[in-house]
Amino acid sequence: KYKFKELQKKYVRETEPCPKIPIAIDKQVPTYQELAPLSSLEAKGFDLQNGGTFIPPCKQSQKTAIIIPFRNRYLHLAVWLLHLHPFLQKQNLAYTVFVVNQVVNGTFNKGVLMNSGFMEIAKLDKFDCFVFHDVDLLPEDDRIYYTCDRAGIKHLAYALEEWGYQLLYQSLVGGVVAVTWQDYLRLNGFSNQYFGWGGEDDDFYVRISQSKLDILRYPLSVSRYTMVQHHRDSGNDINDNRYRLLRESITTNMQQRDGLNNLQYKLESIENFLSLLVSTFHSMLIK
């Protein structure tokens, strides 16, 4: 089980030797220096409620839940929180951040984390909008609104710096998507069958098209993101099975029997962290 307090201490210790002069990683990405006082993020004046909830000073028609599928990316999470809280608050959003942490060993399964996060959050409160968000992606433009649209699935991580701010392929819906709870139910969530890297996002596209939902995107010049550099994680090897699963998904309409309706997981605990500005789910997979 992951103990936040201990890791927090560990993290602060590790960052101590960073040079006094900030090293700019990239554009708006916070520097290591800015990250150093991780234990006192409250002091930054982010004005959050316990568990990473923000209540805007005005009436917001939607409540947004941000779900981050997560395992062992603490540095990315720290960068993300420092970047995203101010960003989301500028938009006057009513939001809560949920980190869905895979605590069971074995291969990473992003789909199961998204689905189990959705199910558990629904028990806590009524959210209108769910934003599924890679931990390493940072929006570069304030006009990328983290709200949902009844007209379709909003694919936000459209123009990545890594790819020269172009979309790799039209059916790509990876990285960051904003989905109303109604549409998420209609899609039957993500597939639970994709273990390891790749395919679960393309499967999500298959679901969107089979459900006859539209994909909405902000202009290429607006929907820009930076991905914090990383290597492939251990426990998340390329899934060689992904093309077979995708074919099956298309030809047998797997969506109907795989997703929220056959989801299996065990919730280890739910903890609210104000010091880390985040509400964390520890969810456990059952094979």
Catalytic residues: 134, 136, 197, 200-201, 227, 230, 232
DSSP state of 154: E
From the list 74, 87, 98, 108, which residue makes contact with ligand UD2 (rule: CB under 6 A)?
108
Q: What is the DSSP string of 15-68?
A: HTTS-SS----STTSPPHHHHTTGGGGGGG---PBTTTEE--SS--S-EEEEEE
Residue that has been written with the tokens 């998904």 in this structure? 249
Helix (H) or strand (E) holding 139: strand 137-139
CA 57 – CA 52 distance, rounded (Å): 16
CA 144 – CA 87 distance, rounded (Å): 10
Q: Does 165 bind ligand UD2 (CB under 6 A)?
A: no
Q: Residue 42, Cβ neighbours under 10 Å: how many?
A: 13
> Which residue, 172 or 274, has its beta carbon nearer to ligand UD2?
172
Q: Does 201 bind ligand UD2 (CB under 6 A)?
A: yes
Neighbour order of strands in the sheet with 224-227? 137-139, 224-227, 159-160
Q: Does 197 bind ligand UD2 (CB under 6 A)?
A: yes
Which segment (40-48, 62-70, 135-143, 202-210) binds Mn ion by CB under 5 A? 135-143
- Minimum separation from the CB atom of position 72 to Mn ion (A): 13
Q: Does 200 bind Mn ion (CB under 5 A)?
A: no
Radius of gyration from C-alpha coordinates of the chain: 18
Q: Which amino acid is at 254?
A: M
- Minimum separation from the CB atom of position 126 to ligand UD2 (A): 25
Q: Does 235 bind ligand UD2 (CB under 6 A)?
A: yes
From the list 136, 183, 200, 201, which residue makes contact with Mn ion (rule: CB under 5 A)?
136
Nearest residue to ligand UD2 by CB is 174
Q: Does 233 bind ligand UD2 (CB under 6 A)?
A: yes
Q: Residue 128, Cβ neighbours under 10 Å: how many?
A: 17
Q: Does 111 bind ligand UD2 (CB under 6 A)?
A: no
Helix (H) or strand (E) holding 180: strand 176-180
Q: Does 73 bind ligand UD2 (CB under 6 A)?
A: yes
- Minimum separation from the CB atom of position 125 to Mn ion (A): 29
Q: How many residues bind Mn ion (CB under 5 A)?
A: 1
Structure token pair of residue 35? 């990250």
Instruction: Please list the residues that pair with 211 across neighbouring strands.
Output: none
Structure token pair of residue 14? 């590790």
> Which residue, 94 or 139, has its beta carbon nearer to ligand UD2?
139
Which segment (61-69, 128-136, 185-193, 218-226) binds Mn ion by CB under 5 A? 128-136
- Minimum separation from the CB atom of position 149 to ligand UD2 (A): 20
From the list 175, 203, 245, 263, which residue makes contact with ligand UD2 (rule: CB under 6 A)?
175
Residues near Mn ion (CB under 5 A): 136
